[in-house]
Structure 1
């Protein structure tokens, strides 16, 4: 995991309007580099759309935002290069058919092949392999994921993981790209109170280490965590689908990146 300074994030009257009305916003906030940002609001208020817009995966049409001096929506690609998605349901879901080790190995290989600099690619194979192992170990440590503590170690199927462990795995995968901005959707979904506290503690530790963290949640964290709270408002403007934010994909004027080989690096923060 490359040591990098977090990205400052700000928004001014930042919003999006789709065929069925306002998708999210307008929102206004300022967060310094290394901040923990909590995006909260009811289902259907555009939380996930705001997350995708602030990470360069979706083009918002109202107002302005800035991520590490890159203005949005003008510099989507630049923001994608310095950001990474943790778990975002329906966008970069873990593969339930793989084991934990296989999921990690796949992302490490992608990172080594497409995310590495030309200089690192010219290093001897043994050095590159050692660097990849060290990168993986740092990402696992930062995410608090102990493979030996899993029921079958690294051979544990992804589909057998509990929700909090899935979160840790997704975060570890995202950290392999050394992002300056890490985004996590539905952080507190299906978590007990204790697990929710552990999840927020994880994100707080990542922010304290320098990475700016943006997390969508149904309820903001305790004030003691010092998060910048961004509220997306209410979902009163018109009917919404069951999962609310899925209407992001209904707007043909915006880019909505689904998981696949072509954009695997975007999800790792290297598009």
Structure 2
């Protein structure tokens, strides 16, 4: 079992600059090995880029970044092998015209998981969460909360130390955001994993939740662990 006292992610002076300017600068944070972690900040603060960075999916980083003891800047492929993306920007997202059953099959193929094993794992999490996704329902016909939970569950079909979810608050009101965060806690506890999610809305965040608060690069301040 993962020891949540041991940090899963450690960043020291982590920065990212592109030709257009800084995306984020001089970030220092540690994330626990178990449970949800919120990455908050307004548009343009680099939330998506931080998630991509800790998932081993961002080039051009400077500073230090360790994920499960792996140097994520020098050995990103090893980090990608132990992380999974539920949804992030326009790079990974559910296909709105696919049916739930097709999403399970597609994700199993992408992550090289046997279809039967994927269905069993998916069903177990459904039972644990107390939800049931109609297999013939189109993704686009599901409520926004269910779409987000579905994306996270699909990302766990392949075991991962860290699951990444961008725009967790997208199209979800505060009451449903609270339900989402409880679902994320349940998934983390059930699968012995961590989930890092990005959000612009902080009103519904539990007070005890680990979080990284970002600002736009022109006014970067030290984030809270």
Q: Same fold (TM over 0.5)?
A: yes
1:219 paired with 2:174, answer no
Q: What residue is the counterpart of 1:258 in the other structure?
A: none
Q: What residue is the counterpart of 1:59 in the other structure?
A: 59
Q: For 1:97-116, what per-residue CA distance to the aligned partner results, in whole angstroms no more than 9, with x for missing partners?
A: 211111112223444xx346
Determine the C-alpha separation between the residues in 2 that align with 1:69 and 1:211: 15
3-state SS in 1 of match to 2:12? strand
Cα RMSD, aligned residues only:
2.3
Name which structure has the greater RCO, CA cutoff 8 Å, separation 6+.
Answer: 1
Q: CA contact under 8 A between 1:163 and 1:191: conserved in structure 2?
A: yes
Determine the C-alpha separation between the residues in 2 that align with 1:165 and 1:211: 20
Match of 1:203 among 154, 168, 184: 184
Determine the C-alpha separation between the residues in 2 that align with 1:168 and 1:12: 31
3-state SS in 2 of match to 1:214? strand
Worse-matched range after superposition: 12-21 or 202-211: 202-211
Q: For 1:151-190, what per-residue CA distance to the aligned partner results, in whole angstroms no more than 9, with x for missing partners?
A: xx32111121221111011111101011110111011122
- The alpha-carbon deviation at position 145 of structure 1 amounts to 3.8
Q: How does 1:123-202 map to 2 (within 5 A)?
A: 129=116, 131-141=117-127, 145-147=131-133, 153-202=134-183
Q: How does 1:115-130 map to 2 (within 5 A)?
A: 115=113, 129=116
Larger Rg: 1
- The alpha-carbon deviation at position 211 of structure 1 amounts to 0.8
- The alpha-carbon deviation at position 236 of structure 1 amounts to 4.2
- The alpha-carbon deviation at position 208 of structure 1 amounts to 2.9
Determine the C-alpha separation between the residues in 1 that align with 2:119 and 2:93: 24
1:230 paired with 2:212, answer yes
Q: Which 5+ residue runs of structure 2 have no aligned equivalent?
A: 220-225
Gap change, CA 1:108 and 1:143, over 3 Å in 2: farther
Q: TM-score, normalised by structure 2?
A: 0.86
Gap change, CA 1:81 and 1:199, over 3 Å in 2: same
Q: TM-score, normalised by structure 1?
A: 0.72
3-state SS in 1 of match to 2:170? coil
Q: CA contact under 8 A between 1:9 and 1:30: conserved in structure 2?
A: yes
1:47 paired with 2:47, answer yes
3-state SS in 2 of match to 1:86? strand
- The alpha-carbon deviation at position 235 of structure 1 amounts to 5.3
3-state SS in 2 of match to 1:206? helix
- The alpha-carbon deviation at position 144 of structure 1 amounts to 5.2
Give 1 or 2: higher helix fraction: 1
Q: Which 5+ residue runs of structure 1 have no aligned equivalent?
A: 117-127, 148-152, 238-271
